């Protein structure tokens, strides 16, 4: 695997030798002081350029970065269309294991780029006209305190979607049920995120997809959370649904008490009763594996 210095030297050399590239920025995990340093960290690179289209019209230009295992250009995909814009990204995973996520941004958007992410570091400024930036911080990604509306919406979504899971299980539509367990769990993760924020003064990030959440949960809660990731067994999906509720409600009550919000306890009890009734009427799990 090429070293970090070799990668930065290459990224800088390509930019230096191309007059269309006027500045280079770095974002993401390699500028975040709170992220562990490992070889999976991407090189989240921005080239501020005078002509994005000239790069798009010559897709082979990226070969200069090395032999690729696979590449994706999300701004040019029909299956997952992005909003039309002037920027263009090349996501490149190389055979040596390094990865560069390279975004081309029109030079006229340089001021916007420098303001939009506090994890930005400028590596090259050929024209010496970019603003001075403060040291990088992941402050933009810290857990945000919920207002009363967002808290209420989270609770409502959790209990409302729980009924869809029960319906899917009763109908023996396992994929439908699993998809909705995932939505219920998303609300649980949001509530756990707020609890972590509450306990830490809303001064940190739990990472993309909650990847740092384990650091802030007790061992029993963590094991229960993992048990909600179902395996396609009907009985296990029922269990996952109930465990999400067992985790969600006490945390929601703590968040409600901290901020003076109202937890919909009566509504929750009605839904829990409904779930139990549906399960009693559902086919025996052992008969439908």
Give the contacts of 199 (CB within 8 A, at least 6 positions apart): 216
C-alpha distances in angstroms, 204 versus 95, 139, 207, 257?
34, 7, 9, 22
- Tell me what percent of the residues of the chain surpass a pLDDT of 70: 98
Tens-place pLDDT, residues 232-273: 899 999 999 999 999 999 999 999 999 999 999 999 999 999
Q: Is 259 helix (H, G, I), strand (E, B) or coil?
A: helix
Q: Which of 60-69, 94-103, 186-195, 204-213 has the lowest mean pLDDT?
A: 204-213
In this predicted model, what pLDDT tens digit does every residue of 13-33 receive, in sequence order? Answer: 999 999 999 999 999 999 998
The DSSP result for 164-175, as a single string, is HHHHHHHTT-HH
**What's the CA dihedral at 137, 138, 139, 141 to 10 degrees?**
160
Statement: residue 286 has pLDDT above 50: no
- Residues 112-116 have a mean pLDDT of 95
* Spatial CA neighbour of 207 closest among 219, 192, 229: 192
Q: Is the pLDDT of residue 285 over 60?
A: no
Q: What is the pLDDT of residue 84?
A: 67
Note the pLDDT of residue 35.
85
Rounded CA gap, 48 and 105, in Å?
5
* pLDDT surpasses 80 at 120: yes
pLDDT at 287 over 60: no
Report pLDDT digits (tens) over 61-79. 999 999 999 999 999 988 8
The pLDDT of residue 288 is 42
Cα–Cα distance, 253 to 270 (Å, whole number): 17
Sequence-ordered strand ranges (E) for the chain: 21-27, 43-49, 68-72, 88-94, 99-106, 121-125
User: Which contacts (CB < 8 Å, 24+ apart) does range 262-268 have?
Assistant: 262/148, 262/152, 263/155, 264/152, 264/155, 264/156, 264/159, 267/159, 268/155, 268/159
Label residue 80 by pLDDT band (50, 70, 90): confident
3-state secondary structure of 123: strand
pLDDT of residue 85: 72
Query: What residues are paired with 47 via a beta bridge?
Result: 24, 104
Q: What are the E-state strand segments in 80-198?
A: 88-94, 99-106, 121-125
CA distance 113 to 45: 12
Res 231: pLDDT: 82
Q: pLDDT at residue 113 above 90? A: yes
DSSP letters, 55-87, are: HHT-GGGGGGG--EEEEE-GGG-SSSPPPP-S-
> For the residues 275-289, what does the mean pLDDT come to?
74
Q: What is the mean pLDDT of residues 150-167?
A: 98
């Amino acid at each position: 695997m090429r070293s970090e210095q070799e990668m930065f030297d290459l990224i800088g050399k390509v930019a230096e030798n191309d007059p269309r590239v006027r500045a280079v920025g770095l974002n993401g995990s390699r500028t975040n002081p709170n992220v562990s340093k490992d070889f999976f960290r991407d090189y989240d690179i921005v080239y501020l350029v005078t002509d994005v289209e000239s790069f798009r019209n010559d897709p082979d230009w990226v070969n200069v970065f090395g032999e690729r295992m696979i590449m994706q250009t999300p701004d040019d995909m029909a299956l997952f269309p992005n909003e039309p814009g002037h920027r263009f990204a090349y996501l490149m995973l190389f055979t040596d294991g390094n990865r560069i996520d390279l975004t081309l941004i029109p030079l006229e958007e340089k001021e916007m780029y420098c303001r939009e992410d506090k994890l930005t570091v400028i590596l090259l400024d050929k024209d010496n006209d970019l603003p001075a930036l403060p040291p990088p911080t992941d402050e933009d990604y810290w857990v945000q305190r919920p207002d009363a509306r967002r808290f209420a919406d989270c609770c409502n979504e959790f209990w409302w979607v729980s009924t869809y899971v029960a319906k899917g299980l009763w109908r023996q539509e396992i994929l439908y049920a699993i998809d909705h367990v995932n939505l219920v769990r998303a609300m649980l993760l949001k509530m756990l995120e707020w609890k972590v924020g509450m306990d830490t003064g809303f001064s940190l990030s739990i990472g993309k997809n909650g990847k740092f959440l384990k650091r802030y949960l007790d061992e029993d809660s963590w094991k229960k959370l993992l048990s909600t990731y179902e395996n396609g067994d009907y009985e296990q999906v029922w269990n996952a649904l109930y465990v999400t509720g067992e985790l969600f409600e006490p945390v929601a009550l703590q968040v409600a008490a901290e901020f003076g919000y109202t937890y919909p306890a009566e509504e929750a009890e009605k839904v829990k009763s409904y779930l139990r009734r549906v399960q009693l009427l559902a086919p025996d799990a052992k008969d439908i594996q």
